Structure 1
Amino acid sequence: MTQAPAKPVRQGQAHKRAAILAAARELFSQEGVERTSMDAIAARAEVSKRTVYDYYGDKRRLLLGVIEDAGEAALATLRELIEQHLSEEDLDRSAAGLERALTTFATALGGSQLASSNYAAAVKLIAENESQLPELDDHPLDRAHADALAERLARFASIGLLDVEDPRLAADHFHALTTLRVLNEPLRRRADLEHVRRVMADGARVFMRAYGTEAPA
Protein backbone atom coordinates (compact mmCIF):
# COMPACT_ATOMS: atom_id res chain seq x y z
CA MET A 1 0.00 0.00 0.00
CA THR A 2 1.36 3.41 -0.99
CA GLN A 3 1.49 5.88 1.87
CA ALA A 4 0.68 9.56 1.43
CA PRO A 5 3.65 11.90 1.83
CA ALA A 6 4.24 12.57 5.52
CA LYS A 7 4.17 16.10 6.82
CA PRO A 8 7.14 17.23 8.89
CA VAL A 9 6.93 16.53 12.62
CA ARG A 10 8.58 18.26 15.53
CA GLN A 11 11.49 16.73 17.39
CA GLY A 12 9.94 18.09 20.57
CA GLN A 13 10.95 17.70 24.18
CA ALA A 14 12.20 14.26 25.19
CA HIS A 15 9.96 13.91 28.25
CA LYS A 16 6.83 14.78 26.28
CA ARG A 17 7.77 12.37 23.50
CA ALA A 18 8.36 9.62 26.08
CA ALA A 19 5.01 10.32 27.73
CA ILE A 20 3.18 10.16 24.41
CA LEU A 21 4.86 6.88 23.46
CA ALA A 22 4.10 5.32 26.85
CA ALA A 23 0.46 6.40 26.68
CA ALA A 24 0.05 5.15 23.12
CA ARG A 25 1.72 1.82 23.90
CA GLU A 26 -0.56 1.20 26.88
CA LEU A 27 -3.76 2.18 25.08
CA PHE A 28 -2.92 0.45 21.82
CA SER A 29 -2.20 -2.75 23.75
CA GLN A 30 -5.30 -2.53 25.93
CA GLU A 31 -7.88 -1.19 23.47
CA GLY A 32 -6.42 -1.86 20.04
CA VAL A 33 -5.13 0.74 17.61
CA GLU A 34 -8.44 1.34 15.84
CA ARG A 35 -10.38 1.85 19.06
CA THR A 36 -7.81 4.21 20.59
CA SER A 37 -8.36 7.90 19.90
CA MET A 38 -5.70 10.55 19.76
CA ASP A 39 -7.73 12.41 22.42
CA ALA A 40 -7.33 9.45 24.78
CA ILE A 41 -3.59 9.27 24.13
CA ALA A 42 -3.20 13.00 24.75
CA ALA A 43 -5.17 12.76 28.00
CA ARG A 44 -3.12 9.78 29.23
CA ALA A 45 0.13 11.56 28.33
CA GLU A 46 -1.08 14.83 29.89
CA VAL A 47 -0.37 16.84 26.75
CA SER A 48 -2.61 18.53 24.22
CA LYS A 49 -3.90 16.64 21.20
CA ARG A 50 -2.14 19.18 19.02
CA THR A 51 1.16 18.22 20.68
CA VAL A 52 0.57 14.57 19.79
CA TYR A 53 -0.08 15.51 16.16
CA ASP A 54 2.87 17.90 16.10
CA TYR A 55 5.21 15.18 17.36
CA TYR A 56 3.89 12.23 15.32
CA GLY A 57 1.68 13.54 12.53
CA ASP A 58 -0.97 10.81 12.66
CA LYS A 59 -1.88 7.65 14.53
CA ARG A 60 -0.14 5.33 12.09
CA ARG A 61 3.18 7.09 12.56
CA LEU A 62 2.63 7.11 16.31
CA LEU A 63 2.15 3.34 16.17
CA LEU A 64 5.39 3.06 14.20
CA GLY A 65 7.08 5.26 16.82
CA VAL A 66 5.95 2.94 19.62
CA ILE A 67 7.37 -0.09 17.80
CA GLU A 68 10.64 1.64 16.90
CA ASP A 69 11.08 2.85 20.47
CA ALA A 70 10.76 -0.74 21.73
CA GLY A 71 13.17 -1.89 19.02
CA GLU A 72 15.78 0.67 20.01
CA ALA A 73 15.53 -0.35 23.66
CA ALA A 74 15.82 -4.02 22.69
CA LEU A 75 18.89 -3.28 20.56
CA ALA A 76 20.55 -1.44 23.46
CA THR A 77 19.85 -4.44 25.72
CA LEU A 78 21.20 -6.86 23.12
CA ARG A 79 24.44 -4.91 22.71
CA GLU A 80 24.88 -4.62 26.47
CA LEU A 81 24.41 -8.37 26.96
CA ILE A 82 26.79 -9.19 24.12
CA GLU A 83 29.50 -7.08 25.75
CA GLN A 84 28.73 -8.54 29.16
CA HIS A 85 28.58 -12.24 28.24
CA LEU A 86 30.33 -12.66 24.88
CA SER A 87 33.52 -10.76 25.47
CA GLU A 88 36.37 -12.35 23.52
CA GLU A 89 38.84 -11.26 26.20
CA ASP A 90 36.95 -13.08 28.96
CA LEU A 91 36.11 -16.16 26.93
CA ASP A 92 37.43 -19.62 27.78
CA ARG A 93 38.61 -20.37 24.23
CA SER A 94 37.19 -23.85 23.91
CA ALA A 95 33.98 -25.31 22.54
CA ALA A 96 32.74 -25.90 26.07
CA GLY A 97 33.64 -22.33 27.06
CA LEU A 98 31.83 -20.82 24.11
CA GLU A 99 28.76 -22.96 24.75
CA ARG A 100 28.69 -21.78 28.36
CA ALA A 101 29.04 -18.16 27.24
CA LEU A 102 26.30 -18.45 24.59
CA THR A 103 23.99 -20.23 27.03
CA THR A 104 24.51 -17.54 29.67
CA PHE A 105 23.96 -14.85 27.05
CA ALA A 106 20.77 -16.50 25.80
CA THR A 107 19.27 -16.96 29.27
CA ALA A 108 20.11 -13.36 30.18
CA LEU A 109 18.46 -12.18 26.96
CA GLY A 110 15.37 -14.22 27.76
CA GLY A 111 15.23 -12.82 31.27
CA SER A 112 15.54 -9.19 30.19
CA GLN A 113 14.42 -8.45 26.65
CA LEU A 114 11.74 -11.12 26.36
CA ALA A 115 10.45 -10.37 29.86
CA SER A 116 10.07 -6.67 28.98
CA SER A 117 6.46 -5.53 28.84
CA ASN A 118 7.43 -2.90 26.25
CA TYR A 119 8.97 -5.56 24.00
CA ALA A 120 5.97 -7.86 24.40
CA ALA A 121 3.62 -5.00 23.57
CA ALA A 122 5.61 -4.17 20.43
CA VAL A 123 5.56 -7.79 19.25
CA LYS A 124 1.78 -7.90 19.74
CA LEU A 125 1.27 -4.60 17.92
CA ILE A 126 3.40 -5.73 14.98
CA ALA A 127 1.42 -8.97 14.67
CA GLU A 128 -1.88 -7.09 14.69
CA ASN A 129 -0.92 -4.16 12.46
CA GLU A 130 1.97 -5.24 10.22
CA SER A 131 0.01 -4.62 6.99
CA GLN A 132 -0.28 -0.92 7.92
CA LEU A 133 3.45 -0.51 8.47
CA PRO A 134 5.43 -1.08 5.26
CA GLU A 135 8.37 0.69 6.94
CA LEU A 136 8.96 -2.48 8.96
CA ASP A 137 10.05 -4.41 5.85
CA ASP A 138 13.85 -4.67 6.08
CA HIS A 139 13.87 -2.04 8.83
CA PRO A 140 17.30 -0.70 9.86
CA LEU A 141 16.66 -1.84 13.43
CA ASP A 142 16.22 -5.43 12.26
CA ARG A 143 19.52 -5.25 10.42
CA ALA A 144 21.21 -3.68 13.44
CA HIS A 145 19.98 -6.51 15.69
CA ALA A 146 21.35 -9.15 13.32
CA ASP A 147 24.61 -7.27 12.76
CA ALA A 148 25.28 -6.90 16.50
CA LEU A 149 25.35 -10.66 17.04
CA ALA A 150 26.80 -11.48 13.60
CA GLU A 151 29.88 -9.38 14.33
CA ARG A 152 30.60 -11.34 17.50
CA LEU A 153 29.93 -14.71 15.85
CA ALA A 154 32.37 -13.76 13.08
CA ARG A 155 35.04 -13.07 15.71
CA PHE A 156 34.46 -16.49 17.29
CA ALA A 157 34.78 -18.06 13.83
CA SER A 158 38.04 -16.19 13.25
CA ILE A 159 39.59 -17.83 16.33
CA GLY A 160 38.37 -21.28 15.31
CA LEU A 161 35.48 -21.80 17.72
CA LEU A 162 32.68 -21.67 15.13
CA ASP A 163 32.35 -22.90 11.57
CA VAL A 164 30.51 -19.91 10.10
CA GLU A 165 30.55 -18.91 6.43
CA ASP A 166 27.77 -16.31 6.68
CA PRO A 167 27.69 -14.58 10.10
CA ARG A 168 24.35 -12.87 9.37
CA LEU A 169 22.74 -16.21 8.56
CA ALA A 170 24.24 -17.75 11.70
CA ALA A 171 22.84 -14.84 13.75
CA ASP A 172 19.42 -15.43 12.17
CA HIS A 173 19.63 -19.11 13.09
CA PHE A 174 20.55 -18.26 16.69
CA HIS A 175 17.56 -15.89 16.80
CA ALA A 176 15.26 -18.58 15.38
CA LEU A 177 16.43 -21.18 17.89
CA THR A 178 16.04 -18.85 20.88
CA THR A 179 13.99 -15.66 20.70
CA LEU A 180 11.62 -16.68 17.91
CA ARG A 181 10.97 -20.02 19.55
CA VAL A 182 9.92 -18.25 22.75
CA LEU A 183 7.73 -15.78 20.85
CA ASN A 184 5.91 -18.70 19.21
CA GLU A 185 5.00 -20.10 22.62
CA PRO A 186 1.51 -19.50 24.11
CA LEU A 187 1.32 -16.37 26.24
CA ARG A 188 1.06 -18.33 29.49
CA ARG A 189 4.34 -20.10 28.68
CA ARG A 190 6.09 -16.84 27.76
CA ALA A 191 5.05 -15.48 31.16
CA ASP A 192 6.97 -18.30 32.89
CA LEU A 193 10.49 -16.84 33.19
CA GLU A 194 12.11 -20.14 34.08
CA HIS A 195 10.53 -21.78 31.05
CA VAL A 196 11.76 -18.94 28.85
CA ARG A 197 15.30 -19.34 30.18
CA ARG A 198 15.22 -23.10 29.54
CA VAL A 199 14.08 -22.57 25.95
CA MET A 200 16.78 -19.96 25.36
CA ALA A 201 19.48 -22.19 26.87
CA ASP A 202 18.35 -25.18 24.80
CA GLY A 203 18.49 -23.04 21.66
CA ALA A 204 22.04 -21.93 22.41
CA ARG A 205 23.14 -25.53 22.87
CA VAL A 206 21.51 -26.59 19.59
CA PHE A 207 23.23 -23.67 17.85
CA MET A 208 26.60 -24.93 19.08
CA ARG A 209 25.84 -28.44 17.77
CA ALA A 210 25.19 -26.88 14.34
CA TYR A 211 28.03 -24.36 14.22
CA GLY A 212 30.64 -25.47 16.75
CA THR A 213 33.94 -26.71 15.35
CA GLU A 214 34.19 -29.40 18.00
CA ALA A 215 31.85 -31.09 20.45
CA PRO A 216 31.79 -29.38 23.88
CA ALA A 217 33.36 -31.45 26.62
Structure 2
Amino acid sequence: MTAAPQKTLRPGQAHKRAAILSAARDLFVHVGVERTSMDAVAAKAAVSKRTVYDYYGDKRRLLLAVIEEAGEAALDTLRRLLDEHLPEDIDSGASDDLERAVTAFASALGSSLLASADYAAAVTLISENEPLLPELEDHPLDAAHTQAVAVRLAAFADAGLLDVDDPQRAADHFTALTTLRVLNEPLRRRSDPDRVRDIMTDGARVFLRAYAPLAERRS
Protein backbone atom coordinates (compact mmCIF):
# COMPACT_ATOMS: atom_id res chain seq x y z
CA MET A 1 0.00 0.00 0.00
CA THR A 2 1.30 3.46 -0.85
CA ALA A 3 1.04 6.63 1.16
CA ALA A 4 -1.92 8.96 0.76
CA PRO A 5 -1.36 11.52 -1.99
CA GLN A 6 -0.05 14.88 -0.89
CA LYS A 7 -0.62 18.33 -2.32
CA THR A 8 1.57 19.47 -5.16
CA LEU A 9 4.28 21.80 -3.92
CA ARG A 10 3.89 25.41 -4.95
CA PRO A 11 7.03 27.35 -5.94
CA GLY A 12 9.01 28.50 -2.94
CA GLN A 13 7.53 26.01 -0.49
CA ALA A 14 10.04 23.17 -0.64
CA HIS A 15 12.04 24.77 2.18
CA LYS A 16 8.95 24.79 4.40
CA ARG A 17 8.33 21.12 3.76
CA ALA A 18 11.96 20.32 4.55
CA ALA A 19 11.78 22.38 7.76
CA ILE A 20 8.61 20.57 8.86
CA LEU A 21 10.10 17.12 8.24
CA SER A 22 13.32 18.02 10.05
CA ALA A 23 11.44 19.42 13.04
CA ALA A 24 9.08 16.44 13.19
CA ARG A 25 11.94 13.93 12.96
CA ASP A 26 13.81 15.56 15.84
CA LEU A 27 10.73 15.78 18.04
CA PHE A 28 9.50 12.27 17.23
CA VAL A 29 12.90 10.80 18.15
CA HIS A 30 13.64 12.84 21.26
CA VAL A 31 10.15 13.40 22.66
CA GLY A 32 8.20 10.52 21.16
CA VAL A 33 5.46 10.48 18.57
CA GLU A 34 2.63 10.35 21.07
CA ARG A 35 3.96 13.30 23.09
CA THR A 36 4.75 15.45 20.05
CA SER A 37 2.04 17.92 19.13
CA MET A 38 1.50 19.50 15.75
CA ASP A 39 1.84 22.85 17.53
CA ALA A 40 5.35 21.86 18.64
CA VAL A 41 6.29 20.77 15.11
CA ALA A 42 5.01 24.06 13.67
CA ALA A 43 6.88 26.12 16.27
CA LYS A 44 10.15 24.26 15.72
CA ALA A 45 9.79 24.53 11.94
CA ALA A 46 8.86 28.24 12.19
CA VAL A 47 5.64 27.77 10.20
CA SER A 48 1.98 27.94 11.08
CA LYS A 49 0.13 24.90 12.37
CA ARG A 50 -2.22 25.26 9.41
CA THR A 51 0.75 24.87 7.06
CA VAL A 52 1.72 21.59 8.76
CA TYR A 53 -1.83 20.28 8.41
CA ASP A 54 -2.11 21.52 4.81
CA TYR A 55 1.03 19.59 3.85
CA TYR A 56 0.54 16.38 5.82
CA GLY A 57 -3.04 16.18 7.05
CA ASP A 58 -2.35 14.61 10.44
CA LYS A 59 0.48 13.43 12.67
CA ARG A 60 0.39 9.85 11.44
CA ARG A 61 0.92 10.90 7.84
CA LEU A 62 3.63 13.30 8.96
CA LEU A 63 5.40 10.38 10.65
CA LEU A 64 5.09 8.34 7.46
CA ALA A 65 6.54 11.22 5.44
CA VAL A 66 9.56 11.45 7.77
CA ILE A 67 10.25 7.73 7.32
CA GLU A 68 9.70 7.83 3.55
CA GLU A 69 12.07 10.76 3.18
CA ALA A 70 14.81 8.78 4.95
CA GLY A 71 14.05 5.77 2.77
CA GLU A 72 14.36 7.80 -0.42
CA ALA A 73 17.67 9.27 0.75
CA ALA A 74 18.90 5.78 1.63
CA LEU A 75 17.93 4.51 -1.83
CA ASP A 76 19.88 7.36 -3.46
CA THR A 77 22.91 6.44 -1.34
CA LEU A 78 22.58 2.75 -2.21
CA ARG A 79 22.41 3.46 -5.95
CA ARG A 80 25.40 5.80 -5.78
CA LEU A 81 27.51 3.22 -3.96
CA LEU A 82 26.48 0.47 -6.36
CA ASP A 83 27.56 2.62 -9.32
CA GLU A 84 30.82 3.44 -7.58
CA HIS A 85 31.82 -0.03 -6.40
CA LEU A 86 29.73 -2.55 -8.35
CA PRO A 87 28.96 -1.31 -11.86
CA GLU A 88 26.91 -3.76 -13.91
CA ASP A 89 29.75 -4.12 -16.42
CA ILE A 90 32.36 -4.74 -13.71
CA ASP A 91 35.63 -5.90 -15.28
CA SER A 92 36.35 -8.85 -13.07
CA GLY A 93 37.84 -12.10 -14.23
CA ALA A 94 38.54 -13.62 -10.83
CA SER A 95 36.61 -14.25 -7.65
CA ASP A 96 39.25 -12.33 -5.67
CA ASP A 97 38.47 -9.19 -7.69
CA LEU A 98 34.75 -9.61 -7.06
CA GLU A 99 35.33 -10.14 -3.34
CA ARG A 100 37.33 -6.92 -3.11
CA ALA A 101 34.60 -5.01 -4.93
CA VAL A 102 31.71 -6.47 -2.90
CA THR A 103 33.42 -6.03 0.46
CA ALA A 104 34.36 -2.45 -0.47
CA PHE A 105 30.72 -1.81 -1.35
CA ALA A 106 29.53 -3.35 1.93
CA SER A 107 32.02 -1.29 3.94
CA ALA A 108 31.00 1.94 2.19
CA LEU A 109 27.32 1.12 2.67
CA GLY A 110 27.90 0.64 6.37
CA SER A 111 29.77 3.89 6.84
CA SER A 112 27.56 6.01 4.56
CA LEU A 113 24.09 4.67 5.21
CA LEU A 114 24.11 3.15 8.66
CA ALA A 115 26.08 6.09 10.07
CA SER A 116 23.39 8.49 8.84
CA ALA A 117 21.52 10.11 11.72
CA ASP A 118 18.40 10.45 9.56
CA TYR A 119 18.46 6.76 8.64
CA ALA A 120 19.02 5.73 12.25
CA ALA A 121 16.12 7.94 13.31
CA ALA A 122 13.86 6.34 10.71
CA VAL A 123 14.79 2.83 11.87
CA THR A 124 13.98 3.80 15.45
CA LEU A 125 10.67 5.37 14.48
CA ILE A 126 9.66 2.31 12.47
CA SER A 127 10.46 -0.09 15.30
CA GLU A 128 8.53 2.01 17.83
CA ASN A 129 5.50 2.87 15.68
CA GLU A 130 5.06 0.07 13.15
CA PRO A 131 1.42 -0.66 14.12
CA LEU A 132 0.53 2.93 13.16
CA LEU A 133 1.94 2.58 9.66
CA PRO A 134 0.36 -0.25 7.63
CA GLU A 135 1.65 1.54 4.51
CA LEU A 136 5.15 0.31 5.33
CA GLU A 137 4.19 -3.31 4.64
CA ASP A 138 5.39 -4.16 1.11
CA HIS A 139 6.26 -0.51 0.58
CA PRO A 140 7.58 0.36 -2.91
CA LEU A 141 10.76 1.76 -1.37
CA ASP A 142 11.61 -1.66 0.09
CA ALA A 143 11.16 -3.26 -3.31
CA ALA A 144 13.32 -0.56 -4.92
CA HIS A 145 16.17 -1.21 -2.46
CA THR A 146 16.05 -4.94 -3.15
CA GLN A 147 15.77 -4.46 -6.90
CA ALA A 148 18.80 -2.16 -7.04
CA VAL A 149 21.00 -4.88 -5.50
CA ALA A 150 19.30 -7.70 -7.43
CA VAL A 151 20.12 -6.09 -10.79
CA ARG A 152 23.83 -6.11 -9.98
CA LEU A 153 23.78 -9.68 -8.69
CA ALA A 154 22.01 -10.82 -11.86
CA ALA A 155 24.72 -9.16 -13.96
CA PHE A 156 27.43 -10.97 -12.00
CA ALA A 157 25.57 -14.25 -12.44
CA ASP A 158 25.36 -13.66 -16.20
CA ALA A 159 29.13 -13.09 -16.20
CA GLY A 160 29.69 -16.42 -14.41
CA LEU A 161 30.95 -14.75 -11.23
CA LEU A 162 28.07 -15.89 -9.03
CA ASP A 163 25.64 -18.81 -8.98
CA VAL A 164 22.34 -16.96 -8.57
CA ASP A 165 19.03 -18.45 -9.68
CA ASP A 166 16.82 -15.85 -7.99
CA PRO A 167 18.46 -12.38 -7.83
CA GLN A 168 15.68 -10.97 -5.62
CA ARG A 169 16.12 -13.68 -3.03
CA ALA A 170 19.90 -13.35 -3.22
CA ALA A 171 19.57 -9.60 -2.62
CA ASP A 172 17.45 -10.33 0.46
CA HIS A 173 20.16 -12.70 1.70
CA PHE A 174 22.85 -10.06 1.17
CA THR A 175 20.83 -7.54 3.18
CA ALA A 176 20.19 -10.06 5.95
CA LEU A 177 23.91 -10.83 6.25
CA THR A 178 25.00 -7.19 6.25
CA THR A 179 22.61 -4.30 6.92
CA LEU A 180 20.12 -6.20 9.06
CA ARG A 181 22.90 -7.69 11.16
CA VAL A 182 24.12 -4.19 11.97
CA LEU A 183 20.63 -2.93 12.74
CA ASN A 184 20.15 -5.82 15.17
CA GLU A 185 23.21 -4.74 17.13
CA PRO A 186 22.80 -2.69 20.33
CA LEU A 187 23.06 1.06 19.68
CA ARG A 188 26.49 1.26 21.33
CA ARG A 189 27.92 -1.26 18.86
CA ARG A 190 26.10 0.26 15.88
CA SER A 191 27.85 3.52 16.75
CA ASP A 192 31.31 1.93 16.48
CA PRO A 193 32.56 2.38 12.87
CA ASP A 194 35.05 -0.48 13.20
CA ARG A 195 32.33 -2.83 14.44
CA VAL A 196 30.01 -1.82 11.59
CA ARG A 197 32.76 -2.32 9.00
CA ASP A 198 33.63 -5.76 10.38
CA ILE A 199 30.00 -6.90 10.32
CA MET A 200 29.39 -5.60 6.81
CA THR A 201 32.53 -7.06 5.26
CA ASP A 202 32.18 -10.38 7.08
CA GLY A 203 28.59 -10.66 5.89
CA ALA A 204 29.65 -9.87 2.33
CA ARG A 205 32.26 -12.65 2.40
CA VAL A 206 29.74 -15.15 3.78
CA PHE A 207 27.33 -14.17 1.00
CA LEU A 208 30.00 -14.63 -1.68
CA ARG A 209 30.92 -18.08 -0.37
CA ALA A 210 27.26 -19.11 -0.40
CA TYR A 211 26.72 -17.88 -3.95
CA ALA A 212 30.09 -18.77 -5.47
CA PRO A 213 30.00 -20.69 -8.75
CA LEU A 214 29.54 -24.40 -8.12
CA ALA A 215 33.05 -25.24 -9.39
CA GLU A 216 34.61 -22.92 -6.80
CA ARG A 217 32.54 -24.37 -3.98
CA ARG A 218 33.73 -27.87 -4.89
CA SER A 219 37.40 -26.90 -5.05
Q: TM-score, normalised by structure 1?
A: 0.94
Give me the whole-angstrom Cα distance separating, in 1, the residues matched to 2:14 and 2:137. Answer: 27
Write out the 4+ residue segments of structure 1 that deviate beyond 6 Å after TM superposition: none
State whether residues 7 and 57 of structure 1, in contact with CA within 8 Å, keep that contact through their aligned partners in structure 2: no
Give me the whole-angstrom Cα distance separating, in 2, the residues matched to 1:58 and 1:126. Answer: 17
Give me the whole-angstrom Cα distance separating, in 1, the residues matched to 2:6 and 2:205. Answer: 48
Give me the whole-angstrom Cα distance separating, in 1, the residues matched to 2:41 and 2:179. Answer: 31
Match of 2:46 in 1: 46
Of 12-21 and 29-38, more deviation after overlay is shown by 12-21
Residues 186-205 of structure 1 correspond to what in structure 2 (within 5 A)? 186-205=186-205
State whether residues 150 and 167 of structure 2, in contact with CA within 8 Å, keep that contact through their aligned partners in structure 1: yes
Match of 2:107 in 1: 107
Residues 1:123 and 1:204: Cα distance change in structure 2 (over 3 Å): same
Give me the whole-angstrom Cα distance separating, in 2, the residues matched to 1:179 and 1:99. Answer: 17
SS in structure 2 of the partner of residue 151 of structure 1: helix
Could you tell me which runs of 5 or more consecutive residues in structure 2 were left unpaired when the two chains were aligned: none
Match of 2:212 in 1: 212
Over the matched positions of the two proteins, sequence identity in percent amounts to: 68
Q: TM-score, normalised by structure 2?
A: 0.93
Cα deviation, residue 9, structure 1: 3.8
Paired letter, 1:11: L
Cα deviation, residue 64, structure 1: 0.1
Paired letter, 2:9: Q
Paired letter, 2:103: T
Q: How many residues align?
A: 211
Cα deviation, residue 8, structure 1: 5.8
Tell me whether 1:18 sits opposite 2:18 in the alignment.
yes
Residues 120-159 of structure 1 correspond to what in structure 2 (within 5 A)? 120-159=120-159
State whether residues 182 and 199 of structure 2, in contact with CA within 8 Å, keep that contact through their aligned partners in structure 1: yes
Task: Spell out, residue by residue over 1:69-94, the C-alpha distance to the aligned partner (whole angstroms, 9 max, x if none).
Answer: 00000000000000000024443221
Paired letter, 1:200: M
Paired letter, 2:160: G
Q: CA RMSD in A?
A: 1.5
Give me the whole-angstrom Cα distance separating, in 2, the residues matched to 1:7 and 1:98. Answer: 42
Give me the whole-angstrom Cα distance separating, in 2, the residues matched to 1:113 and 1:79. Answer: 11
Cα deviation, residue 180, structure 1: 0.1
State whether residues 162 and 211 of structure 2, in contact with CA within 8 Å, keep that contact through their aligned partners in structure 1: yes
State whether residues 146 and 171 of structure 1, in contact with CA within 8 Å, keep that contact through their aligned partners in structure 2: yes
Match of 1:93 in 2: 93
Residues 1:19 and 1:194: Cα distance change in structure 2 (over 3 Å): same
Match of 1:161 in 2: 161
